């Protein structure tokens, strides 16, 4: 990524150095001046053609670097989306035991399994099963 930005900066420096030469070369090639010989004007026309090609190449390279930069940013965005999906999936898995434990932590008198000998182990098994089912679903969908 840093290399792309470095190339863009170098290309911008080249563009700043080359583009301003167009107007003086145009004046030297089109307007007849006493101090400029016709043979030299032909040479300046050749130089102006080369300058036009260089400016066109600079523009093409700039567009190419923009495309490369956009493609790289798209890859980064896709990777970030994958990370966010994983974080969201784990947050959903952790939400199940948090919700169940939050309800049981309210200390109501009439809670399912509260006065039953196997109430606590059954609640843990239900939590674990729910987490495993959610985990399996996220794994199937490619989120984990």
Question: How far separated are the first and last CA of the chain, in Å rounded?
Answer: 28
pTM of the model: 0.61
Q: Which two tokens stand for residue 95?
A: 């939400």
pLDDT level of residue 34 (50, 70, 90 thresholds): low
Residue that the structure tokens 């190449």 belong to: 57
41-45, 116-120, 126-130, 135-139: which has the minimum mean pLDDT?
Answer: 116-120
Assign domain 2-140 to a CATH class.
mainly alpha
pLDDT value of position 61: 95
Long-range Cβ pairs for the range 64-73 (8 Å, 24+): 65/4, 65/7, 65/8, 65/11, 68/4, 69/4, 69/8, 72/1, 72/4
The per-residue pLDDT of the chain, averaged, comes to 88
The 10s digit of each residue's pLDDT in 83-123 is 999 999 999 999 999 998 888 777 777 777 777 788 788 88
**Cβ-based neighbour number of residue 123 at 10 Å:** 19
DSSP states along 89-116: HHHHHHHHHHHHHHHHTT--SS-TTTTS
């Amino acid at each position: 990524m840093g290399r792309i930005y470095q190339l863009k900066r170098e290309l911008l420096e080249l563009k700043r150095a080359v583009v301003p030469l167009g107007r003086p070369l145009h004046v030297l090639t089109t307007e007849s001046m006493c101090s400029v010989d016709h043979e030299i004007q032909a040479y300046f026309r050749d130089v102006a053609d080369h300058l036009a090609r260089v400016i066109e190449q600079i523009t093409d390279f700039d567009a190419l670097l923009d495309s490369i930069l956009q493609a790289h940013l798209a890859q980064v965005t896709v990777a970030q989306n994958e990370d966010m999906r994983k974080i969201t999936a784990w947050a959903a898995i952790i939400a199940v035991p948090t919700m169940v434990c939050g309800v049981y932590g309210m200390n109501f008198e009439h809670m399912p399994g509260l006065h039953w000998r196997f109430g606590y182990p059954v609640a843990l098994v239900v939590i674990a099963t729910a987490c495993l089912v959610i985990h399996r679903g996220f794994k199937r969908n490619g989120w984990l």
